[in-house]
Structure 1
Amino acid sequence: MALAGAPAAYGDETIPDLVVGGVAPVSGLRPGDGIDVRATVANKGTVAAEKVWVAYSVTRGLDFAQVPSNCQVQHVRPYDEMPERWTAVCAFDQAVAPGAVYTTDRPLRVTALDRALNDELRLRVESGDPGADDNGSDPVAGTAPPVKLVAADAGGVGSARIVDVPVTTVNTADYQVTGAALRGSVGDTVTMKVKFTNAGPAWVWPREGDKAVRVMVTPPPGTSVVKRGTFCRAEGGVYVCGMRSLYEGSGETYTFDLRIDKRVPGAKGSIALSTEARPFDPDKANDQADITLDVVGGGSSGSAGGSDGSGGSDGSVGGSTSGTNGSTGGTGGSTGTSPSGSDGGSSSTVTGGTASGGTTSGGNLAETGSSALPAAGVAAAAVAMGAGVLLVQRRRRAQRPD
């Protein structure tokens, strides 16, 4: 359990020092199961709180079953390393004297959705109205009977104004990759589209310390990379790629432009997931796929030409919800290709993968997909681009109101 505390008004003893507790980490849920959340509020300061607000916040694998009428529900988009979530802020027109301990007269029911896996419940207590989140939808009042605070013993007293509680559900998420079949003549520039998908049913929010999954793309031998895919960096003859979203049903298409330099019998590349442990993904059969190349005609080319793009612009994680916590989110943006080789070769067809997310842009250096190291300019662009894995590990830090 991650705790975030704040002294009374940062040292100001003229306002209440409220803390919240009463909830322990939850594990072993299954989709459809529920937990009852009963918040406990205490005043450790020397000044009474004339009114109290308790905020319940859940990540997108969880939902509120019923919301009391003295609570306002809001859907909040992801920002500041915080994931997409739903928040219910409940107002209690009740005073809490110094040393007093209260709990809610009935629990708030939270259920695990079909997409639940690694989620989080946050409790926060305030002595002033926290207001609506600027990154969220318009708040909507609940329809269930109002909830009240009642006197309680000190057994469930917390020690912080904000408490983050992990909620783990037994579920799976199927990470899979899709390869491509290329065809062209020596000297042609062909477009290769390969894809990563989280086929669900669960969304994946990496916990702090989890290693991010990467997609490893190895172009077929006998080709040079004219333009690499968005979110990909070169490491020798392999391209290490990241993704924007691990929502269920989301995916990332990596679009490369390859120049066919020479015929290599049985030329075959690959797309594969990195080997980090993924206990939620038991199906390993679709973790690797071939990239085949059929070279038609004869002959071989001279030196490789063209340009290597340094990535491109990324779309934003999107998706909309209705009601409390309904429809799934996904990724936004578009993917396009812009072959720019200087060899005058013709563009050829490719099968495998579908475009979704991100745009790519050209650069000015070529890379050999099979074995050559990237040129200095491409390396600099790759460093500027960063690790390419856009789902960084979220820091759990408390959000203090102004």
Structure 2
Amino acid sequence: MPPTLTGSRVPRRTAGAVGAVALLALGAAPAGAADPEPSLVLGRIAPIHGLRPDSGFTVPTSFTNTGTAALDKVWMSYSVTRGLAHTEVPSNCSRYEITDFDEEPSRSVVSCEFDRTVRPGVVYAPERPLALKALGHALYDELRVTVDSIETGPGDGASEPVRGTGPALKLVERPAETPAAGGAQASGWSAATVKVTARNTADFQVSGARLKGRAGDTVPLVVKFTNAGPGWVLREIGAGATRIRLRMPAGTSVTKTDGFCKSLGSGTYECGTAQAWIDEGGGGTYRFRLRIDKAVPGARGSVALAGQPRPFDINKANDTADIVLDATGAGSTTGGGLPGTGSGPALPLAGAAAGVVVLGAGAVVAVRRRAARRR
């Protein structure tokens, strides 16, 4: 069952809480202490699997006012990740875009205002499900549905909302449906994140390198990881999209390591990605510097995909590549080399210190943004 997130609006309650403390200090009860609290609970929304790319679909949604008082108005929002799109925006709804930030991928949001009475204990639903579409690069996506008793703004990193032009979407009662059960704590909003998958593939691939130098030289090593598509890949937030494992050629030692890589010992390194997603055509470039300690005939290392399973990647032939070193006898202490070869766009990555700061700060900021922005 998809998780339902609820919580109180601390900023709106701060003043009331302070006032209540002051009244209690004077021996008086706060006038609003017995006022009913709004409580909204979304009905269950099942995961959606097996969509065809470039096909439309709908998601029925409903909610119940589990509080003790009627509401004059509610808002519902539908937020989708970049493999999905809204195909209609009713006139009582607005659409805006949220760019990717820290550990959160970009999203498109349609927020609808329903100006009608919402009575306690009654199930309500939009008269028709909002129409959505799986795009050509859809693979692993998310739909987040929110119902709220107050209007919340788009928040940081969002575009200006644009009012829809389609026929207005009405909210209707569903008396035949069983009301959703209220949680342990009443809350004026409820949200659910729904997994959406498409029957698509994504070709993760790596490129190797051919190096040349003399014993004593220090040469650059550049290898690349690319998602050749057609699908983009979104993993669990907080985890990398994939991992890359490098084994250095015999007779070499690493003098400089890429910021997203760590040593596993014995000349082996493992590298991660900056985010939990990789767009189609995106990827990463990993840069090292190797010292040729001695010339070893036929010295050869490797670069390979590692980490989480990749059931979407059906082409295994490009999951590994060679790092070939042509080394000769003693030479200078510095020298050149041939950079790694390969094709496809690359995503520049920062150095070690910057990588640690970005990843660490990103996790903190992402948590703060998720707490502040419901959709």
Structure 1 residues 63-115: Cα deviation after superposition (integer angstroms, max 9, x where no partner): 11111121111111234643321111101111212223221122211111111
C-alpha distance 385-4 of structure 1, shift in aligned 2 (>3 A): closer
| 1:174 and 2:203 matched | yes
Identity of matched residues, %: 44
- Write out aligned runs for 1:256-295 (5 A): 256-274=288-306, 276-295=308-327
**Which residue number corresponds to residue 25 of structure 2?**
none
* Structure 1 contact 15–49 (Cα < 8 Å) conserved: no
- Please report how far the alpha carbon of residue 25 of structure 1 lies from its aligned counterpart in structure 2 after TM superposition: 1.6
- Write out aligned runs for 1:239-258 (5 A): 239-245=269-275, 246-258=278-290
Name the stretch that deviates more: 101-110 or 207-216. 207-216
C-alpha distance 345-401 of structure 1, shift in aligned 2 (>3 A): closer
* Structure 2 contact 223–340 (Cα < 8 Å) conserved: no
Name the stretch that deviates more: 9-18 or 235-244. 9-18
**In structure 1, C-alpha distance between the alignment counterparts of 2:167 and 2:112, rounded to whole Å:** 12
**Which residue number corresponds to residue 335 of structure 1?**
none
- Write out aligned runs for 1:151-300 (5 A): 151-153=173-175, 155=177, 157-159=179-181, 161-207=190-236, 213-236=242-265, 237-245=267-275, 246-274=278-306, 276-296=308-328, 298-299=329-330
- Please report how far the alpha carbon of residue 360 of structure 1 lies from its aligned counterpart in structure 2 after TM superposition: 3.6
SS in 2 for 1:123: strand
Q: Give, as a single letter, the amino acid of the residue that structure 2 aligns with 1:83.
A: P
**In structure 2, C-alpha distance between the alignment counterparts of 1:164 and 1:158, rounded to whole Å:** 17
C-alpha distance 386-74 of structure 1, shift in aligned 2 (>3 A): closer
**Which residue number corresponds to residue 101 of structure 1?**
123
| 1:2 and 2:31 matched | no
TM-score calculated relative to the size of structure 1: 0.75
**In structure 1, C-alpha distance between the alignment counterparts of 2:372 and 2:66, rounded to whole Å:** 18
Structure 1 residues 195-241: Cα deviation after superposition (integer angstroms, max 9, x where no partner): 11111111111147988631001121111211112201111110110
| 1:349 and 2:338 matched | yes
**In structure 2, C-alpha distance between the alignment counterparts of 1:387 and 1:287, rounded to whole Å:** 26
**In structure 2, C-alpha distance between the alignment counterparts of 1:257 and 1:186, rounded to whole Å:** 14
* Structure 1 contact 28–170 (Cα < 8 Å) conserved: yes
C-alpha distance 256-284 of structure 1, shift in aligned 2 (>3 A): same
| 1:122 and 2:144 matched | yes
SS in 1 for 2:255: strand
**Which residue number corresponds to residue 339 of structure 1?**
none
SS in 1 for 2:145: strand
**In structure 1, C-alpha distance between the alignment counterparts of 2:258 and 2:318, rounded to whole Å:** 21
Q: What is the root-mean-square deviation of aligned Cα atoms in Å?
A: 3.3
- Please report how far the alpha carbon of residue 151 of structure 1 lies from its aligned counterpart in structure 2 after TM superposition: 1.7
| 1:17 and 2:39 matched | yes
Name the stretch that deviates more: 86-95 or 129-138. 129-138
Q: Which runs of 5+ in 1 are unaligned?
A: 302-342, 362-380
| 1:358 and 2:359 matched | no
* Structure 1 contact 41–101 (Cα < 8 Å) conserved: yes
* Structure 2 contact 36–69 (Cα < 8 Å) conserved: yes
* Structure 1 contact 64–111 (Cα < 8 Å) conserved: yes
- Please report how far the alpha carbon of residue 154 of structure 1 lies from its aligned counterpart in structure 2 after TM superposition: 5.1
**In structure 2, C-alpha distance between the alignment counterparts of 1:209 and 1:401, rounded to whole Å:** 18
**In structure 2, C-alpha distance between the alignment counterparts of 1:31 and 1:73, rounded to whole Å:** 22
